[in-house]
Structure 1
Amino acid sequence: MEIRTLRYFLEVAREENMTRAAEILHISQPALSKQLKSLEEELGKKLFTRHSFSIKLTDEGILLKKRAEDLVLMADRIKNEFISLDDITGGELYFGLAESYQIRYLAREISSLKKQYPSLKYSISSGDSEQVLEKLDKGLLDFVVLAELPDTTKYESLIFPYSDKWGVVMPDDVPLSKKKTIHVDDLISLPLFCSGQAWINDIPRWAKDKMDKLHLEGSFKLSYNASLFAKEHLGYLLTFDKLIDTSPGSGLVFRPLDPQLETNLYLVWKKYQTFSPIAELFLKQITENFKKS
């Protein structure tokens, strides 16, 4: 199985059309069809269901798409890392990030490093802890940012300078918005939005024995999406401060929890990880600057 063939497969999967994919790949449609047919024969599974004007992935094709994306990304990483070994003016960094206003400090460090090494490139992906740690374990990411302390037997970490404060984002015309702070009793029986991870790990630290009286209306990975639902009066969003625009005129307000609930943010990497030269420079720089904060 060749990486080139997997690239062909992924392009067809994205376009869902053999003709368009062939044009993008700059090969003939018969040649592309032959490559995909050979891939199906090699795997012994049908990867596409062909229709008159489009093609759809089978269940086996969906599985291959996920694996092929990881393999192609890893192949690109290896190539870029070897190119950068002899030229430390650039290279590429790969991050998996949680949501937090403190990501600005990470962006600041990347900006500073890019001024020294203008050819530096970086790839950013988002997801919950399970998703980004899986990619870190596979070697697809250099660093991840987590809103929880990682497993210290597997990972090294660096704590961010500050902590994130929890509160409730809600429409500015609901009675609860008139309160300066929000107590757990204020939320009982109300429809609540929160990330699934935080509902399990963070909110119970605050709600304590009243956790079972709180109602999770829906879980979201991205607070911005959840805020749109809150704005339509579908629920109240439990989230970090400074993630959502709650300025006058936004239609939303943020009210902190009482007692105060805070979560630390961590930059995480694998123990005994072999870094590219640019990743080593980044880690050294951010470690020094975070210690000064």
Structure 2
Amino acid sequence: MEIRQLKYFLTIVEEGSFSGAAKKLHMTQPPISQQLKILEDELNVSLIERTTKKVVTTDAGELLYQRAKEVLDLLDLTAEEVRELREGISGTLSIGAITSLASELLPEKIQHFKKMYPKVNFQIHEGDPNRIMELLENRNIELGITRLPVNTQVFDMIRLPEEPMIAVMNKQWDISNKFPYINLSNLEDKPLMLLRRLQGTSSYNDTVEPVKDSFRTLGYEPTIITESDNIATLLNWAYHGIGIAIVPKSAKNLIPYDEIIYKEIINPSIKTRPSGIIWRKKGYLSTVSRKFLEYFKA
């Protein structure tokens, strides 16, 4: 069993056809088919069902596919670590984050990390929790920072602290005498704008239900005029005085207008859903990403 045979086999399965694998590997099809046949003869098993147009793995083929991925990932990691012993830690780390946390949490973390590892570069992708999950599952990013819950059978995580919700408003709505906080009761009958995430296959997160529940503890229903899955839209509408947005505190840095007032909500306070930094359980993690996770843990 040779490494190149494992690479050919993985590419056949992932591309779904011999022709697709040949195109991906920049080869002709016959050598790929020949190497797969040699591998099957050596193992004395069939790895591919040849009675269908699309590649379908046998049980033995599925087992080999999973093991081959682990072997090749380990080889890549080993080669990377050997290079880093000579050159120092370098490379590009791809991170996905929901918009509010990307603006609040990442700049400070990345600034400190770059001081320790100046040869590391970053690619940052922003989106809602479902988008972050999709990017991870498709291996477009290595790490994601998002609201919980997530599927713990698919992802490992480091939980991050909860953060308070804040009321964001134009100066015309300043009803708490310029104090940096506001009682929840002060928002009774005020036009509120809340963040809602669409339910998807990977995650579900919103601020609508926590806000409603908090108001109900005071004995009344909130006046909700807008629900949006775009936090920047809510902040922009708050800036224009349409209503008062209730968003996570980490959103403060998204629109730094002097006309916008941010007030922490108290009596009772409202907390966001917990957040976490997540990665695929069975996925390959580069040395850079593992160092970044160690930094978060510390």
Please state how far the C-alpha of 1:107 moved relative to its aligned partner.
3.7
Q: Deviations over 1:53-112 (max 9, x none)?
A: xxxxxxxxxxxxxxxxxxxxxxxxx9xx78845533312211111244686554444334
2:226 maps to what in 1?
A: 217
Whole-angstrom distance in 2 between the partners of 1:221 and 1:183 = 23
2:128 match: 128
CA 1:201 to 1:171, structure 2 compared with 1: closer, same or farther past 3 Å? same
Gaps of 5+ in 2: 1-19, 25-72, 198-205
Partner of 2:184: 183
What is the one-letter code of the residue matched to 1:181? I
* Distance change (3 Å), C-alpha of 1:116 and 1:168: closer
Amino acid at match of 2:249: D
Q: Distance in 2 between matches of 1:193 and 1:277?
A: 42
- Verify the 8 A CA contact 1:90 1:278 in the aligned structure 2: yes
Q: Distance in 1 between matches of 2:93 and 2:174?
A: 46
The 5 Å alignment of 1:57-96 reads: 84=80, 86-88=82-84, 89-96=89-96
**Alpha-carbon contact 1:246-1:252 (below 8 Å) kept:** no
* Change over 3 Å in CA distance of 1:211–1:118 after alignment to 2: farther
Identity %: 15
The Cα of 1:133 is off from its aligned counterpart by 0.6
Partner of 1:166: 165
Change (3 A) 1:134 1:153: same
Where does the alignment leave 5 or more consecutive residues of structure 1 unmatched?
Answer: 4-77
Deviation at 1:195, TM superposition (A): 2.0
DSSP 3-state at the match of 1:267: strand
Higher gyration radius (CA): 2
TM-score by length of 2: 0.58
Q: Tell me which of 239, 257, 264 is aligned to 2:247.
A: 239
Match of 1:286 in 2: 296
SS at the partner of 1:253? Answer: strand
Q: Deviations over 1:119-153 (max 9, x none)?
A: 21111111111111111111111111112232323
The answer on whether the counterparts of 1:193 and 1:237 sit within 8 Å (CA) in structure 2 is yes
- Deviations 1:127-181 (CA, angstroms, capped at 9, x unpaired): 1111111111111111111122323232211122x43111211112236354852
Asked if the contact 1:144–1:268 (Cα under 8 Å) also holds between the matched residues in 2, the reply is yes
Q: How many residues align?
A: 210
Aligned counterparts of 1:195 and 1:265: Cα–Cα separation in 2:
15
How far the C-alpha of 1:277 sits from its partner, in A, is: 1.9
State how far apart, in whole Å, the 2-side matches of 1:92 and 1:285 are. 16
Partner of 2:40: none
Rate the CA distance shift 1:186–1:255 in 2: closer, same or farther, 3 A.
same
**TM superposition score normalised by structure 1:** 0.59
